[in-house]
Structure 1
Amino acid sequence: MEQRTELFKREQKWGLNTYLYAPKDDYKHRMYWRDLYSAEEAKQLMALITAAKQHDVEFIYAISPGLDITFSNPKEVAALKRKLDQVREFGCRSFSLLFDDIETEMCQADKQVFSSFAHAQVAVTNEVYQHLGEPETFLFCPTDYCAAFCTPNVSQSSYLHTVGEKLLPGIDILWTGPKVVSHKISAESIEEVSSVLKRAPVIWDNIHDRPTELIPKLRGVLTNPNCEFYPNFVAIHTLATWCKATADGGPKDVEMGDEEQDPCYSHQKALTLALTDWLQEFLSTDQPGGRKESSDEEPMQTDMGENLFYLPYEHGPTARTMLQQLDWLKNNTEWCSRAQQFDDMCDAVVQMFNRLSNAPNRSILYDLYNYICDIKSGVGLARAYVKTLGGQGRPSAQLMNDDPEPWGFRGGLSGEFQRMLPGHGNRDLFRHPPTTAVYCIRPYCPDDKMEVQRIFREMQSAGEGKVPLVAQPPLISGEISPSPQCALVLEDELGMCGYALALTDAKPAAAKIQVIKMLEEFPSLITIQMLPRVTDPSPAKRMIGQLLSSIRSSGSRGAFCELRHSDRRMLDFYTKLGSFKPIEVASLPRDVIAMATSL
């Protein structure tokens, strides 16, 4: 919250005027959207909204109900209105409904009321917009928020046409361009989507460098920040320069580079201005008394050299030169002088790392440290390899594993270097790239009982202990049916490979043991299991997220699961989720551990 307030100060200083609040770490923004904020949470949000007003920044509160809302249920719509009414009481006057990154299949109840998924979204959005008194700023994020998601294309998308025709004209629509992260957004593509939506879009951007000819064709631009606060400086600073360059027809002192085509704006000039200001932040101390450098440390410097970093789709000039040099060194034999040049460039990267490490402003350093360490290690590998080619070192026996772990490769410049070293070439992570597994999550039906039992038995036989779990067998065997909306199965190309079942009231399943005290605090039971061939944890996380949401909607206060001590895989899974904690239950067998989460 403190960093967001600091961001408002920067926005005011640079001439930006809007902030969209939609953080994934606010669970009441998305997963638990129905829940009202507590007194402490309300205090924080009110302070944030007040701070935005003080710095002339429009605070837009966004909510994402699309994971599990039933559009046709008046109680659900009432819950959405109640939540936004609460935020309005905090002083917020601008809102946004987000339906991005959700499943597009409607439930049976919605299919009986609405003609399409777009129709359902638009109906609820219009109703909420009117309930709030038709705010001056109200944003809608469609599920098809870029051209790549549209079927068959933008101009023929029935989804977008429904949104354009039925969404009230005072509501603005978010759009990311041709792709989620669009390399280029053309004026023609904006004209096309504007025609379908019957209004100019608001670009929700993931890159921060666009031609100024887009400005008159847009309702606005929002830029997605990095998760770390300090590395956002350049992106937001250059966005502000871009906006100023178009406000009065362009600054008179813009010097055009050879690559420039925009008469109003120079991205190289904007980058230089941003870096110049940012370097001053590196030199400011962020702790009382600062941090003095010892005589043997390399001092932080402010010379403006060539750039390693640039935009997601391209490297800076120095990085491009280094990649070209390494490619040449791999394929030529007479190369001593070129090898020395490459080594000098590698040394310059190490110096950059040392200088940044000695920056007085430690907060910026901590946000950047993982990235610059990554670059340094990638350059170090390439440097060692070139020395080996020149006979200056012995090849490392473990320079590159034939079958590296996925985390052995990184993105960006470091990943480029690693891919150029022996053993991989363009194959990236794997010697033989595997086909991506496609998983299907669907509701459980009675015919699935035999397969669920087979998976349960298979995983039981793989464990060290054979003691039956206390509460799960009645649910697995079919003696007790899962609660409504609380049973899912996972399938891949070979068939069923996992399940997730739940009881909102676990008393029938746990009737034979004395766990009444536990059930008062955690009345619901969850059981989830994946076959070993499911190596991706994402499907399991998604299923358990849906179960917890359904259990919470039923009014349950908490949920528990039972695991064997020998089932290290599932214990690790629940532990890494973060919300489940081990609990003491005296009546459980020694081989069984209970974990629970409050809802």
Structure 2
Amino acid sequence: MSEPGSRTRSGTGRFISGVVEGFYGRPWTMEQRTELFKREQKWGLNTYLYAPKDDYKHRMYWRDLYSAEEAEQLTALISAAKQHEVEFIYAISPGLDITFSNPREVAALKKKLDQVKGFGCSSFSLLFDDIESEMCPADRRTFGSFAHAQAAVTNEVYRHLGEPHSFLFCPTDYCAAFCTPSVSQSSYLHTVGQTLLPGIDVLWTGPKVVSHKISVESIEEVSAVLKRPPVIWDNIHANDYDPQRLFLGPYKDRPTDLIPKLRGVLTNPNCEFHSNFVAVHTLATWCKAAADGGPRDVDMAGGEEEQDWSYSPQKALSLALTDWLQEFMTADQPGGPRRLKKELCDEEPMQTDMSEGPYVPGPEENPLYTAEPLTLDDLELLSELFYLPYEHGATARTMLQELDWLQTDSRAAAADPLTSATPSDSDQRVPAGPAHSPTAGQTAEWRRRAQQFDDMCHAVVQMFNRLSNAPNRRILYDLYTYICDIKSGVGLARAYVKTLGGRARASAQLMNDDPEPWGFRGGLSGEFQRMLPGHGNRDLFRHPPTTAVYSIRPYCPEDKMELQRISREMRREGEDEASVTQPPLLSDCLSAGEISPSPQCGLVLEDEIGMCGYAVALTDAKSAAAKIQRAASEAFSEDFPSLVSVQVLPRVADPAPARRMIGQLLSSIRISGSRGVFCDLRPSDRRMLEFYSRLGSFRAIQAGGLPGDVVIMAASLP
């Protein structure tokens, strides 16, 4: 059975399969490229396209010839590719500033490619991607269109080089999304198809720059326009557009039925060389699939989206990770990580002082740290956390879904956002029940799923620890930024769930209004994105908790019944046996409507369901206090004459609306001439005691003449 390298297209040429180094970022080293050639030969791939965007003599300074030292390096690299039976295609990208109509510019391009041809290179590529499509006046006078200009120069260079067997052209409109108005009606692509010489192949990324899926139908459409099958430049594993993402999932969502419809496939993978083992390995498996013939067993339980009987992405991934594990366990430098368990068993530690034996901790001391060896399960978890651009792996999806459920149903853990908004070091979280208390079964279910989520988070931490001690440090260093980031993110989520369940004090880095820099992500780019209307609509987790919209409006007499309902509901939540028999509070009388709030001293909070909170006040509470035989000292009444009462239902998951509401209310009271406000609370109402404490302006004070079962929180209004 033939390998994909010998597959023919319409009876001519082999199927191009391999890697394009075409990303933006630090180019790979000569040593890494040579290692790539070895892997390609081993796995049955046959091509390497040299097109690093940040090699300045490839793109920005394309006219400059290579120095003697650079020439020596490129010559050695081309020779290494030939040694490993990999076709080296040299690409140049002159589109930033070339004047197509100037013969001297075309001569400079020919001279540069002649130099590279002298290094032993026989295959070439002209790239016109990611450039402005507006022609300069000189070119507009000579060529009918941008496509005509590119095709004319490309044809001339192709003939000058002797019509190489492999010559690739990258159009400016290199994906369907760039074509106006469509692929089939694109005048640019039609011109390219009609004008380019038949021996020149065209690069194409698919429906998009980073294509989710590439269908047979879409390739047939573009092939008809280009009058030749394209070579896919596949960005499925490219990460140069997002420094926080890495892609370790399998080559996927490209049916093997594409192979006879294409001239070839080149993957443009992650910037980090050692992170591309899976990307290249699984592409090789895909390329071999149709050549091997016969259907493979597809694990439909594993969720394969396409019933491709020749190729299973999940099985290809397993093969790649199994081989990658061996790479991880091969030390790339002397020494390597310390104290792997196997090493402790196999050899004695080096001792420089024979009078002292190895350190052995005492029975009550910390045990020595010993690194567990990396496992295949660890690499599978790593791949699922850093899967593909349009898809998280199974474990990542499960973790997001569980966190969503635990947050949404946190009532079963007696969580309350008002009591955990901005905790201090001395705060202890006090659970407060919801409007309808959960059953014992609901609470048990929440706890069970919280523990499962914690176990998954623990597995991520363990994976991080074992990766950090893998012998091959070169691979680790390419992964380190990403695994540190995911460990941090998972740690924050883990702490948050423990806080919801009352198992830990609310973490300052989670709830604080002023977190440290390592407690959040995004930088300036993140801030810009959050300000744009479309931010978040492409999250891979399709069901994130939505952000509620709240409105604050003035209280009116028609709100009295709703205010009473909320007051009764929240009073039931905070009642204990002692409070039922105690005299009413002034705040209760105000909330229950027995006392009407002062004019312009009432606010109502509403969400999409209806009224969900209120803040009301009496600017002078003396007469109301007299009605229930509560009299404070003259000094207290002079300093704090006004009474406030605030309540918010537990469904309000954001403490900010309540803060804004009471802030507006205090402004209105200050305008009336009041010097200060107070509220009276039961000692058992820990929820509201903590809420007022966290506002910053309120403090607990002693007020003579009031019963001992009342706590007064007061704030001055300077």
Q: Do they superpose with TM above 0.5?
A: yes
* Structure 1 residue corresponding to 2:318, chosen from 272, 284, 294: 272
Task: Please give the secondary structure, in 1, of the residue aligned with 2:37.
Answer: helix
Structure 2: how far apart are the matches of 1:48 and 1:186?
A: 35
Residues 81 and 87, structure 2, Cα contact 8 Å, conserved in 1 = yes
Report the counterpart of residue 20 of structure 2 in structure 1: none
The amino acid of 2:33's aligned partner reads R
Structure 1: how far apart are the matches of 2:97 and 2:124?
A: 20
Report the counterpart of residue 391 of structure 1 in structure 2: 502
Report the counterpart of residue 285 of structure 2 in structure 1: 241
More deviation, 161-170/297-306:
297-306
Cα 1:67/1:215, change in 2 over 3 Å: same
Report the counterpart of residue 343 of structure 1 in structure 2: 454
1:406 is displaced (CA, Å) by: 3.5
Matches of residues 1-400 of structure 1 in structure 2 within 5 Å?
1-207=30-236, 208-209=251-252, 210-250=254-294, 254-258=297-301, 259-260=303-304, 261-293=307-339, 296-304=369-377, 307-332=384-409, 333=412, 334=443, 335-399=446-510
1:396 is displaced (CA, Å) by: 3.4
Structure 1: how far apart are the matches of 2:452 and 2:126?
A: 54
Structure 1: how far apart are the matches of 2:94 and 2:163?
A: 19
The amino acid of 1:40's aligned partner reads E
1:227 is displaced (CA, Å) by: 1.3
Equivalent pairs counted in the alignment come to 420
The amino acid of 1:117's aligned partner reads F
1:192 is displaced (CA, Å) by: 0.5
Structure 1: how far apart are the matches of 2:402 and 2:335?
A: 44
Cα 1:31/1:339, change in 2 over 3 Å: same
Residues 331 and 472, structure 2, Cα contact 8 Å, conserved in 1 = yes
Cα 1:401/1:119, change in 2 over 3 Å: farther
Structure 1: how far apart are the matches of 2:148 and 2:402?
A: 56
Report the counterpart of residue 431 of structure 1 in structure 2: none
* Structure 2 residue corresponding to 1:407, chosen from 520, 523, 539: 523
Cα 1:167/1:426, change in 2 over 3 Å: farther
Structure 2: how far apart are the matches of 1:309 and 1:239?
A: 17
Task: Please give the secondary structure, in 1, of the residue aligned with 2:207.
Answer: coil
Q: Which has the higher contact order (CA 8 A, sep 6+)?
A: 2
The amino acid of 2:387's aligned partner reads Y
Residues 211 and 235, structure 2, Cα contact 8 Å, conserved in 1 = yes
Residues 34 and 79, structure 1, Cα contact 8 Å, conserved in 2 = yes
Report the counterpart of residue 452 of structure 1 in structure 2: none
Structure 2 unmatched ranges of 5 or more:
1-29, 237-250, 341-367, 413-442, 515-519, 528-534, 548-718
1:523-581, Cα deviation, whole Å (9 max, x unpaired): xxxxxxxxxxxxxxxxxxxxxxxxxxxxxxxxxxxxxxxxxxxxxxxxxxxxxxxxxxx
Structure 2: how far apart are the matches of 1:402 and 1:388?
A: 17
Structure 1: how far apart are the matches of 2:147 and 2:298?
A: 47
Structure 2: how far apart are the matches of 1:290 and 1:40?
A: 33
1:158 is displaced (CA, Å) by: 0.3
Structure 2: how far apart are the matches of 1:350 and 1:38?
A: 48
Residues 293 and 358, structure 1, Cα contact 8 Å, conserved in 2 = no
Residues 254 and 269, structure 1, Cα contact 8 Å, conserved in 2 = no
The amino acid of 2:398's aligned partner reads T
1:223 is displaced (CA, Å) by: 0.2
The amino acid of 1:232's aligned partner reads N
More deviation, 207-216/28-37:
207-216
Task: Please give the secondary structure, in 2, of the residue aligned with 1:35.
Answer: coil
Cα 1:78/1:247, change in 2 over 3 Å: same
Structure 1: how far apart are the matches of 2:44 and 2:55?
A: 27
Task: Please give the secondary structure, in 2, of the residue aligned with 1:62.
Answer: strand
Structure 2: how far apart are the matches of 1:43 and 1:162?
A: 39
Structure 1: how far apart are the matches of 2:268 and 2:201?
A: 18
1:212 is displaced (CA, Å) by: 0.3
1:398 is displaced (CA, Å) by: 4.2
1:8-37, Cα deviation, whole Å (9 max, x unpaired): 000000000000001123100000000000
1:263 is displaced (CA, Å) by: 1.0
Structure 1: how far apart are the matches of 2:114 and 2:335?
A: 46
Structure 2: how far apart are the matches of 1:25 and 1:381?
A: 36
Report the counterpart of residue 568 of structure 2 in structure 1: none
Residues 119 and 162, structure 1, Cα contact 8 Å, conserved in 2 = yes
Structure 2: how far apart are the matches of 1:408 and 1:336?
A: 38
More deviation, 352-361/298-307:
298-307
Residues 100 and 144, structure 1, Cα contact 8 Å, conserved in 2 = yes
The amino acid of 1:301's aligned partner reads L
Cα 1:409/1:43, change in 2 over 3 Å: same
Structure 2: how far apart are the matches of 1:401 and 1:142?
A: 50
Cα 1:426/1:360, change in 2 over 3 Å: farther
1:303 is displaced (CA, Å) by: 3.8
Task: Please give the secondary structure, in 2, of the residue aligned with 1:399.
Answer: helix
Report the counterpart of residue 626 of structure 2 in structure 1: none
TM-score (norm 1): 0.67
Structure 1: how far apart are the matches of 2:512 and 2:390?
A: 28
Report the counterpart of residue 493 of structure 1 in structure 2: none
Structure 2: how far apart are the matches of 1:202 and 1:8?
A: 20
The amino acid of 2:498's aligned partner reads K
Structure 2: how far apart are the matches of 1:347 and 1:101?
A: 43
Report the counterpart of residue 639 of structure 2 in structure 1: none
The amino acid of 2:287's aligned partner reads C
The amino acid of 1:377's aligned partner reads S
Structure 2: how far apart are the matches of 1:244 and 1:286?
A: 30
Matches of residues 460-539 of structure 1 in structure 2 within 5 Å?
none
Residues 336 and 473, structure 2, Cα contact 8 Å, conserved in 1 = no
Structure 2: how far apart are the matches of 1:221 and 1:86?
A: 27
Task: Please give the secondary structure, in 2, of the residue aligned with 1:61.
Answer: strand
1:331 is displaced (CA, Å) by: 1.1
Structure number, greater radius of gyration: 2
